[in-house]
Amino acid sequence: MQRLVNDFNRSQSQYEVTPVLAGDYREAPGKLDAAIRSKTAPALFQAELTYFPKLVAENRLANLDRFANSLPAETVRDFYPAVWAYGEMNGKRFGLPWNVSTPALFYNARALRRVNVAPPKTYAELESTAKALSGRGKRGFVAVAEAWTFEQIVAAHGGSVVKDGAPNFTSPEVVTSLELLARMTRGGTASAYTVSDATRAAVDFVRGIDSMAVASVANWTDLGRLGIFIEVGAAPVPCAVKCAVPFGGAQLVVLNSASVEEQAGAFAFWQFLMQPKNLQSWVEGTLYLPPRKSVQPLLSDFFKQNPQRAAIFAQLDHAVSRPRVAQYDTWRGFLEEAITKTIKGGALAREALEEAQRRALSAK
């Protein structure tokens, strides 16, 4: 990111971008809130997808229609539709695509070869594969009580955790998805972790204790560096009644406290980032997915180095949006608590989800 910023600053003399690290997706919102209160908000912010609708609802963001409307039609068509559409709310554009990710299925390739099985393509296969990989202190799958990866299981079963702007936690697809994780954790074929246990889950995976895990494609480089005990493989996430992946990542947003000149500079910087060569560099350095289709041919050599990448990047063809509801930033906490109670505390999936639904409906 620093290299791209330096390249932009050298490419013109009208604007200067100064990057400031604000922590991870769960830390950055608090820092931005504090900056807004102290009237030191930045002009440009990297807003995680579930935080983005909240910023819109709180009227924190500048309307970028006048900039986006200046883009050639062929440029807009070059973006993956779901990725481009996410930045629009209430008929106005408040977000610009940047880092795009999908979940991926990571696996211990040696462990799968030992039991002579291929990476599972469906959730039914995932359950049977996890059973074959479990035993003697090892578990076949990592079950993390995290909203995004759970949304993927629900989407694959044809459902959504939010419907018509309201929590949908008690729908058959959500209940079925949580019961799947409950069967695996109670049957000893999956290890259960909370969101705060994510680092330990990654360590257990690369130590070979757990053999399969669903995580962001952007975690691939980290797992590769850590995986000295195992051979890390990667595949598209499993399907169920359909193949669907909620894309993750963040939008670049402009705070409405930014001056007219700062807003123009932020948009110019985004246009620079969206140049295919710059996106190629970004994708190859981070393993985030390109938001523009025209970048794919530039990645042919990158795909040849590891053919698994092409299959995972192709998941964007099945991309679905994450919930674009301001309250979901709060609701997902109730959902993650329900998952935790079920996979770690032994609660019944339906009862835990009914409680989460009641709490979400009563939350302000």
Q: What's the pLDDT score for residue 323?
A: 93
Q: How far apart are CA 273 and CA 306, in angstroms?
A: 25
Interval 132-139 mean pLDDT: 95
The answer to whether residue 265 scores a pLDDT higher than 80 is: yes
| pLDDT-wise least confident of 105-119, 127-141, 191-205 | 191-205
Q: What's the pLDDT score for residue 229?
A: 76
Whole-structure pTM value? 0.91
Residue 316's pLDDT band, with cuts at 50, 70 and 90, is: confident
Q: Residue 122: which residues within 8 A CB-CB, separation 6 or more?
A: 238, 239, 240
Residue 120's pLDDT band, with cuts at 50, 70 and 90, is: very high
Q: What's the pLDDT score for residue 39?
A: 94
The answer to whether residue 227 scores a pLDDT higher than 70 is: no
Whole-number average pLDDT of the chain:
95
The answer to whether residue 364 scores a pLDDT higher than 80 is: no
Residue 264's pLDDT band, with cuts at 50, 70 and 90, is: very high
Interval 79-103 mean pLDDT: 95
SS3 content of the chain, % helix, strand, coil (to 5): 50, 20, 30
Interval 120-129 mean pLDDT: 98
What's the token pair of residue 203? 């360590």
Check: CB of residue 119 under 8 Å from CB of residue 134.
Answer: no
The answer to whether residue 221 scores a pLDDT higher than 90 is: no
Q: What's the pLDDT score for residue 226?
A: 67
Residue 125's pLDDT band, with cuts at 50, 70 and 90, is: very high
pLDDT tens sequence across 4-47: 999 999 999 999 999 999 999 889 999 999 999 999 999 999 99
Interval 224-233 mean pLDDT: 78
The answer to whether residue 192 scores a pLDDT higher than 70 is: yes
Q: How far apart are CA 298 and CA 354, in angstroms?
A: 48
pLDDT tens sequence across 170-189: 999 999 999 999 999 999 99
Q: What's the pLDDT score for residue 306?
A: 86
Q: What's the pLDDT score for residue 110?
A: 94
Nearest to 334 by CA among 352, 356, 354, 350: 356
DSSP labels for 232-255?
EEEEPPPBSSS--EE-EEEEEEEB
The answer to whether residue 287 scores a pLDDT higher than 80 is: yes
DSSP labels for 182-235?
HHHHHTTSEEEE-GGGHHHHHHHHHTTSB-EEEEEGGGHHHHHHH-SSS-EEEE
Q: What's the pLDDT score for residue 65?
A: 98
Taking CA atoms, 129 is separated from 3, 120, 173, in Å, by 42, 7, 22
CB crowding 142-156: b at 16 or more within 10 Å, else e: bbbbbbbbbbbbbbb
Interval 224-246 mean pLDDT: 88
- Of 60 and 229, the one with more pLDDT: 60
Q: What's the pLDDT score for residue 82?
A: 87
Residue type, 110: R
